Chains A and B, each alone.
Chain A
Amino acid sequence: MKCRVCRGPAVIDIRRHNANFCPEHFLKLCRDQTAKAITQFAMLEPDDRVLVAVGGGKDSLAVWDILTELGYEADGFYVGLGIGEYSRTSERHARTFADARGLTLHTEDLLRDHGFDVPNGSRSAKRAPCSACGLSKRHLFDEAARRGGYDAIVTGHNLDDEAAVLMGNVLHWQTDYLGRQAPLLAAHNGFPKKAKPLVRLTERETAAYCVLRGIDYLVDECPIAAGNKHLSYKAALNDIERDSPGAKHDFYFRFLDQAAARFAAGPSPTADVGAGPEAEPAAPVSPCRRCGAPCSNDICAFCGLAARATAAVPVRLQPTPPRRPVRS
């Protein structure tokens, strides 16, 4: 295999581009595709202060690295989810990456700062772990961005993530979610702008980027996510992609070009924060009574989750039976 650009030895084939690349030109391709997505969807201004949602995996570390290479002022934000060794390892990867590059990493810990973790909190709140995790991260990223005066939150969502979400939304005709699925969510109702600059790269490409850049990322899968539908949609799409290179790209980008606007009538007034990948409260919005975050109810969904997750189970005391006289 030879690099399409320099004809040197290639290390990776990108079949949807019908091309092979050497390390140097593959890394350039990743940066160029990220820059193209930022421009195509008007995601960021050159002087935007960016907060990158970092989990220690390939996607978040790749997007942080690429944004820094592209010259953006980008800090990281990590949320400890309390998922045992998995969380400890993921924080270590995020910290090592930041320290090696002199980047700023803010951290918050669900258990330390909010009194619950994902495994136990989701059980207490009777909520699916991935749902509780997503809701918590979205809320804490929003709050961190507001506190820190950041212009945008950037996440590492890639083409596979977006195509899998689209597949799930289409399979179940979730028209509310289809109307809100976009690589850029503009700032609104007190929520900061959210951008996904990796939407033009697949997971295989972000992983390859990290290997070639020497980025030591968390390879192991979240033990709680194993078996969830999102992963099965990704596997199904990769089976299609193997036989039809470019299918994932066409599925997602033609949806954006040709169909997304048909569903974009705005969020349903019954939308529930955390009920879907892009879910945020519809108007009217008022501050949460507990934390001040914008929400459409008395308290926001995160505070509701935290209240249920931390509520002590009341101990029902039994009346003490009358003592029988002790006979000797």
Chain B
Amino acid sequence: MKVLLRNPSRQVEVDGPLEVALLLQQLDLNREAHLVIEDGTLVPNDKILGKDAVVEIRPVISGGSA
């Protein structure tokens, strides 16, 4: 599957099918700090993503010290 990552923007290939929670774990990303988006909407952690899926993993942490 194709996985779009942010900050900086880049794309990686990951073997599917794979559960969303395991995808985050495989990429060493904290589920509390990321959303997984497919076709413009959220996908839950227990969804199995197909081998041809295209997903974005969006970080949610932001902000300066102000």
Contact = CB atoms under 8 A, between A and B. Distances in A.
Nearest to B7: A221
Interface of B: 6-7, 30-35, 37, 40-46, 58-66
A212 B42 contact: yes
A160 B41 CA distance: 23
Interface in A163-214: 202-204, 206-208, 211-212, 214
Given A203-B33, A225-B63, A238-B61, 15 more contacts: A11-B43, A11-B44, A134-B66, A137-B66, A160-B61, A204-B32, A211-B42, A211-B58, A219-B59, A221-B7, A221-B61, A221-B62, A230-B63, A241-B32, A242-B32
Contact of A208 (B40, B42, B61, B62): B42
14 contacts: A1-B45, A11-B41, A58-B62, A129-B64, A160-B61, A206-B60, A219-B7, A219-B58, A231-B63, A234-B63, A235-B30, A238-B61, A239-B30, A242-B31
A221 B37 CA distance: 18
B59 to A, nearest CB: 8
Interface of A: 1, 9-13, 20, 23, 57-59, 128-131, 133-135, 137-138, 160-161, 202-204, 206-208, 211-212, 214, 219-222, 224-225, 228-231, 234-235, 238-239, 241-242, 277
A202 B60 CA distance: 9
Contacts of A128: 65
Contacts of B59: 219, 221
Contacts of A211: 35, 37, 40-42, 58
Q: How would you classify the secondary structure of chain B's contact residues: helix, strand, loop or mixed? A: loop
B42 A11 contact: yes
A295 to B, nearest CB: 18
Contacts of A203: 33, 60-62
A204 B35 contact: yes
B54 to A, nearest CB: 16
B31 to A, nearest CB: 7
B6 A220 contact: yes
A133 B35 contact: no
